[in-house]
Structure 1
Amino acid sequence: MSFEVDIGYASARGPREDNEDFAAVVRPAPHDEARGLIAAVADGVSSGGQGRLAAQTTVMSLVQDFHGVPETWDTTVALDRLISAQNAWLAGHNRRRSGEGTAMCTLTALVLRGHSYTLAHVGDTRAWLLRGGECIQLSQDHSFDHPDLRHALSRAIGLDDHVRVDYSQGELHRGDVFVLTTDGVHGVLRRRELAARAREGSAQAASEALVEAALKAGSRDNATALVIRVAGLAAGRLEDLLLRGRQLPVPPKLRVGDLLDGYVITAMLADNGVHRLYQARSVATQALVAIKALHEARASDPQERAMLAHEAWLGSRVARDGQAGLVRVHELEDPSAFYVVYDWHSGQTLEQLIEDGRRLDVSEVVDAGRAVLKPLGRLHRQGVIHRDIKPANLHRGDDGQWRLLDLGVAVSGREPEAARSLHAGTPSYINPEQWQPDDPVRADAGSDLYALGVTLYQALTGRLPYGEIEPYQLARFRRDPRAPSQVRPDVPIWLDHVLLKAVARDPKLRFETAEEFALALERGASRPLPAHGSTPLVARDPAVLWKIALVVSLLFNALLIVWLLFLPR
């Protein structure tokens, strides 16, 4: 998706001597669409001709500095800090020049980012949203509720040392039209006429029509209109999906034949009490897709909603077109419910192949490892840890391509706190240092590589290197795994060395990167890895010396008792 907008601006001083309105729009750079577009309109309120100064400096400082704030700042945080700084400067300016008139202004600012809009508002300028056949006023005037004081402002930029700003956010749709006006326009035009003029011709023609209509209707103030028409949306951001996850309902339980936003359900694939997975067909393209939605029992859980939104955002970020090995997430426009849509790939998971008794050739297992390590390495380079590598999440399509599934518990640095603190994964595939009771470590890239080593070992031998592991059960790791060739004689020795290195109990002996692991599989017998020696007993069980000492002490004491009680002195 690309971010496409049509922008129009018109302003006239009307019967006033000076035009104290000011407006501006700054688009994001083509390579930085995630920063968003910012537009602002201000109406100067002054004595001594200072209104133009207040309006111009407020708008320009906001739109010029907005794209310079750290990317980690939320939109409302960025707007609040910039507006507060400008308000403090204007308030100080007014105190220093108290005898020369005051400089104040109203302000309405609009930010379009990803699939959402954010509005900041102070005073009696207004923001309107034209969607479908409706004209919605997004802002509320900050003026005194009295006939004689209807033009007196209760809030303005520069009025006090601290300003209270109204913020609102909403979902952005293709076809939306935003109109920012000063009171010289909306003070004389009825809502219906304003909406009709805003839809005329291009955005520029619409803004000029609004100002011209206001002057003809007898406006006695400066008249300014800024029109923004949204023709295309930028790629969705995590914040957009989190907002959608909070606002939309989860789909009810769907049956075969039910319709969901242009998708016809063709099969129920899974229901684990937390999520439901469906196969569906797009009405528009006839292509099969997979739909993942929350179970209604978890519909009110904000953490589950946030985790599914993070999964959707992560999938769209790391599985774009042309990036093999990952399943692409579809961008949804105006969904009626909260769910995620994936590409559909026919085939079987590695777990299904194992359960069906399918004996994979050694070359097939090696090819699977090499294929999965490519997307896994790409995830790691982007700071993403999968945390749930196992046979059920390795899928071989009918096209012969291996793909990595399920980013539901992956961490990226922007996941919800509940996901970050979750001890995620399947115990038998989790590296032993995560089970240390005294000082457990968090999952990292090495954890994924260990889990893949366990998965490939199981695919070859039909068994796990350390057996079934229960949480915090370290006793299983006190023996070294058998070489795969001892279980399956057709496994070459060089592959023994690779897999035993991948699942070594000591993390220092394992592969450090996905690229190193893939290179070892690619080189094979041409440049084999050195043999992995057996782990010393002390390393496998640090308490073994104490156990030996205890046994020796017990034997010594037993002999001493026998000598004292039964042997002649």
Structure 2
Amino acid sequence: MSFEVDIGFSSQRGPREANEDFAGAVHAPRGEEARGLIAAISDGVSTGGGGREAAQTTVMGLLSDYFATPDTWEPTVALDRLISAQNTWLASQNQRRHGAVTGLATLTALALHGHRYTLAHVGDTRAWRVRADGAPAVPLTHDHALDHPDLKAQLTRAVGLDDQVRVDYEQGEVQVGDCFVLTTDGVHGVLKPAQIAELALAGSAGQASDAMVQAALTAGTRDNATALVLRVVGLDARQLADELFDGRRLAPPPALKVGDKLDGYVITARVADTGVHLLYQARDAATRALVALKTLHPSRASDVQERAMLAHEAWLGLRVSARGEPGFVRVHERDPGATALYTVFDWHGGRTLEQMRSANLLTPVADTVAAAIEWTRALGRLHRHGVVHRDIKPGNLHCGDDGHWRILDLGVALSGREDPAARELHAGTPSYINPEQWEGAPADAGSDLFALGVTLYQWLTTRLPYGEIEPYQAARYRRDPVALSRIRPDVPMWLDNLVRKAVARDPRQRFETAEELLLALERGASRPIAAPPATPLIQRDRALLMRIALVVSLLFNAVLLVWLLFLPR
């Protein structure tokens, strides 16, 4: 279901000479729809007529700039930066005018994103949540005003009141059917929560906002009356903020046994235990379908970074599999009633490439090429999402019972939205890591292509192109890989050249993109590529070259010394 909100707005000046309320709502721009919507309401407070200006600039500044902030910022960070900037500008304007014309503004802002909302609040405007269960409207904010019958209009916090502004923030979960109502005190000052709830659900959102304002005027409000109604009709797929919130809120389940139940799933087998993660096979009690459950090992249950990485993996899986693209395992959206932290995947029978290799089965070259084409297509799709896998290896390439290959385990993948600690982690399996990373370069799409080439070389020859590499090993790439056809004569020359190009020591000799590698695989012998040139010794082992140069220099000096001392001149 796509993100959809029914919005209604109404504002009347009431008995006042001027209307100093202001409100609005803006959807994310085209291409960034997943960022949701931002809505805000403000009540201007003034001496000399600056209230309208204060309310309007506060709301308009927030609405116009919110989606200009980086999408990597948490909504609370974006709101805090923008509100603080507006407060600084408004406070300086008030100080410059020396009290002749001043303007303050209350502010209640609501950001809807994914399956969550973020609320920012200053002053005595209010936000309410209404659900169609007959219950009164639930206030989501607390007024910043003096708690005295004669001084309730006296604000303790407002935008522009002081050099620094303190903002209240609230976050929570959103469901389809939720109705959020933003009001100024001209409405909620005379209407009770039960009336607000009843009116908020009457007719369309526009009709509801009109009815609410008219009811406030009929009830004898003494102030401007403004209401902004937002009804959630549809939600997007869960966003990273939703997953991270669950990663902090939920605890991983204890180690489960066959027959144990977890939120409607019955454990049927423990598939893997890596010491960091546990992977189970389970059956959905409602649909009887088999699924895979991935969670943290109990020993890592309190690790904040591991929780964040598991949440990031779930979000990435949803992002990739939401479009139904082949080559990946579909991730299920987490049930709102989940009691523990885990991720649910479709279950596919079959084996990983590592399991196939362990069985010592010699695969025909044609089948190997067909598999490589599937891997490369899937990797290209991943890279177009801006994602780097970082751990391509035989254990993460799975061939299902349906005959299709899938890339597994996005646990250490980079998307630009991951936790900084995960970005700095030197992830991957050493024998599949490209030389540049050992020299300090970050992982990129080329790293995945190199790892894919190593995997293909290993599958065809049962050997690693550069041998088994250990993290502490200093001499890692001091020889070029042996030609595949020398190890396995049935490997055609075009494929031999292709694989050696993919794992070349010099990154400039490798394939630049997955699309380039895919084209070479599909063309095969019809458009063979040239064999990569031998890597110069200075690139493979500079230390050895220096030692050879030193030995030559010493020999030359020894000969020269003998000639000078012992040979006749």
Answer whether TM exceeds 0.5 for this pair.
yes
Distance 1:387 1:66, change over 3 A: closer
- 2: CA distance between counterparts of 1:206 and 1:495? 68
How much is the aligned-residue C-alpha RMSD, in angstroms? 3.1
Deviation at 1:153, TM superposition (A): 0.7
Deviation digits for residues 456-490 of structure 1 (CA, Å, limit 9, x no counterpart):
12212222223322113244533443322333232
Distance 1:419 1:176, change over 3 A: same
Q: 1:398 maps to what in 2?
A: 401
Within a 5 Å distance, the mapping from 1:169-568 to structure 2 comes to: 169-283=171-285, 285-336=287-338, 337-435=340-438, 439-475=439-475, 477-532=477-532, 534-535=534-535, 539-548=539-548
Deviation at 1:393, TM superposition (A): 0.9
Distance 1:335 1:463, change over 3 A: farther
- 2: CA distance between counterparts of 1:227 and 1:476? 63
Q: 1:564 maps to what in 2?
A: none
Distance 1:219 1:530, change over 3 A: closer
User: Would you say how many aligned residue pairs link Structure 1 and Structure 2?
Assistant: 556
Distance 1:537 1:30, change over 3 A: closer
- 2: CA distance between counterparts of 1:30 and 1:546? 58
Deviation digits for residues 228-247 of structure 1 (CA, Å, limit 9, x no counterpart):
12121123332332222222
Deviation at 1:109, TM superposition (A): 1.2
Name structure 2 gaps, 5 residues minimum: 560-569
In 2, are the aligned partners of 1:173 and 1:333 still within 8 Å (CA)?
no
Deviation at 1:110, TM superposition (A): 0.9
* 2:56 partner amino acid: Q
Question: Normalised by the size of structure 1, how large is the TM-score?
Answer: 0.88
Q: Which of 357-366 and 322-331 deviates more?
A: 322-331
Deviation digits for residues 393-415 of structure 1 (CA, Å, limit 9, x no counterpart):
11112222112111111122222
Deviation at 1:392, TM superposition (A): 0.7
Q: 1:123 maps to what in 2?
A: 123
- 1: CA distance between counterparts of 2:55 and 2:354? 65
* 1:330 partner amino acid: H
In 1, are the aligned partners of 2:461 and 2:484 still within 8 Å (CA)?
yes
In 2, are the aligned partners of 1:395 and 1:402 still within 8 Å (CA)?
yes
Secondary structure of 1:149's partner?
Answer: coil
- 2: CA distance between counterparts of 1:538 and 1:14? 83
Q: 1:562 maps to what in 2?
A: none
Question: Normalised by the size of structure 2, how large is the TM-score?
Answer: 0.88
- 2: CA distance between counterparts of 1:482 and 1:429? 16
- 1: CA distance between counterparts of 2:96 and 2:508? 66
- 2: CA distance between counterparts of 1:59 and 1:556? 81
Identity level (%):
66
Q: Which of 358-367 and 172-181 deviates more?
A: 172-181
Q: 2:563 maps to what in 1?
A: none
Deviation digits for residues 503-553 of structure 1 (CA, Å, limit 9, x no counterpart):
233333332322232233223222333344555555543333454577789
* 1:510 partner amino acid: R
In 2, are the aligned partners of 1:321 and 1:328 still within 8 Å (CA)?
no
Secondary structure of 2:64's partner?
Answer: helix
- 2: CA distance between counterparts of 1:540 and 1:104? 68
Deviation at 1:112, TM superposition (A): 0.9
Distance 1:490 1:249, change over 3 A: same
Secondary structure of 2:233's partner?
Answer: strand
* 2:119 partner amino acid: L
* 2:426 partner amino acid: H
Deviation digits for residues 277-333 of structure 1 (CA, Å, limit 9, x no counterpart):
222344555443322222232222111112122222222233333422122323335
Name structure 1 gaps, 5 residues minimum: 560-569
- 1: CA distance between counterparts of 2:436 and 2:58? 55
Q: Which of 283-292 and 459-468 deviates more?
A: 283-292
Secondary structure of 1:8's partner?
Answer: strand
Deviation at 1:85, TM superposition (A): 3.8
In 2, are the aligned partners of 1:432 and 1:474 still within 8 Å (CA)?
no
- 1: CA distance between counterparts of 2:325 and 2:172? 32
In 2, are the aligned partners of 1:173 and 1:334 still within 8 Å (CA)?
no
* 2:518 partner amino acid: A
In 2, are the aligned partners of 1:303 and 1:418 still within 8 Å (CA)?
yes
Distance 1:122 1:357, change over 3 A: same
- 2: CA distance between counterparts of 1:445 and 1:88? 43
Q: Which of 143-152 and 110-119 deviates more?
A: 143-152
In 1, are the aligned partners of 2:123 and 2:158 still within 8 Å (CA)?
yes
In 1, are the aligned partners of 2:537 and 2:545 still within 8 Å (CA)?
no
Deviation digits for residues 185-213 of structure 1 (CA, Å, limit 9, x no counterpart):
32333334433443344333433443444
Deviation digits for residues 61-112 of structure 1 (CA, Å, limit 9, x no counterpart):
3323433444444433333343334334444444455565432232211111
Secondary structure of 2:477's partner?
Answer: helix
Secondary structure of 2:542's partner?
Answer: coil
Distance 1:210 1:531, change over 3 A: closer
Secondary structure of 1:228's partner?
Answer: strand
Q: 2:86 maps to what in 1?
A: 86
In 2, are the aligned partners of 1:22 and 1:43 still within 8 Å (CA)?
yes
